[in-house]
Amino acid sequence: MRKTGVFLDRDDTIIRDRIYLDNPDDIEILPGTCEAIHTLNQKGIPVIIITNQSGIARGLLDEETLHEIHLELMSRLASMGAMIDAVYYCPHHPEGSVAEYRKTCPCRKPEPGLLYQAAKEFCLDLNSCYMIGDKPIDVETIHRVGGKGILLTHLHNGDTGQKPDFTANDLVEAVQWILEDINS
C-alpha cells in the first residue's frame, strides 16, 4: 500500500508571514490550522512542514533561533491537539550574505530535495503525497515528484504560473479535498 503524506508550507499557510520571523513570541497560527492538522493526525497521515528560510543565509537569524521558533510552533499546535511529524527547512540562498549558506542547493523549493529526504525518513510514496502552500512554488515543488499541489487563495491573487490540482480558501478546505481525493 502506498503511504501518503501531507507537506505544508509554513509562512502564510499555517502561520502568519512575519517576513523573516526571528522571535518565537511573534508566531501567529492561522485560523483553521489546528483543526486541519488534527484531522490529518486522526487519519494517521504524516504532516510535515517544508519551508525555505533564507533569513539564515541573509544573516537575519541563526539556525538555533529557527529551531526555537519551530519548537514553539509545534508546542502550541500540540497543546491544541495538532501534531507536526517533522519540519524540514532550507537555510540557503544563492545571494545570501552569510558565506556558508550562500549557495544554490537541491533543498530550496522548488527543488524537491527536502521532499526526498522526508519520503525516505517516513517511507512515503511521493506520487501519493500532497503539498499545501500559498505560493505557486509550493505547487511546483510537489509536481516535480509526481504529487498533488493545493494552492491557498486567502492571500494570493492573480496568475499562479503553476496549475494547482486544487485551489482552497483555507487549510481546512484543502485537507477536506485531500481526504476526498484519497478515498476516490
Q: For 126-147, what is each residue's pLDDT tens digit?
A: 999 999 999 999 999 999 999 9
pTM: 0.94
Q: What are the structural domain ranges in the chain?
A: 8-119+136-182
Q: Tell me how far CA of residue 135 lies from CA of 56, 89, 109, 145, in angstroms.
A: 20, 16, 11, 17
Asked if residue 159 has pLDDT above 60, the reply is: no
Asked if residue 18 has pLDDT above 90, the reply is: no
The correct CATH number of 8-119+136-182 out of 1.10.760.10, 3.40.50.150, 3.90.1150.10, 3.40.50.1000 is 3.40.50.1000
Mean pLDDT, residues 102-114: 97
Query: How buried is 120 (Cβ within 10 angstroms: 0-12 exposed, 13-18 middle, 19+ buried)?
Result: exposed
Asked if residue 1 has pLDDT above 90, the reply is: no
pLDDT digits (tens, 9 = 90+) for 67-97: 999 999 999 999 999 999 999 999 999 999 9
Mean pLDDT, residues 50-76: 97
Contacts of 16 (CB under 8 A, 6+ apart): 28, 30
Give residue 153's pLDDT band: very low, low, confident or very high (50, 70, 90): confident
In the prediction, which pLDDT does 19 show?
86
> What's the DSSP call for residue 23?
-
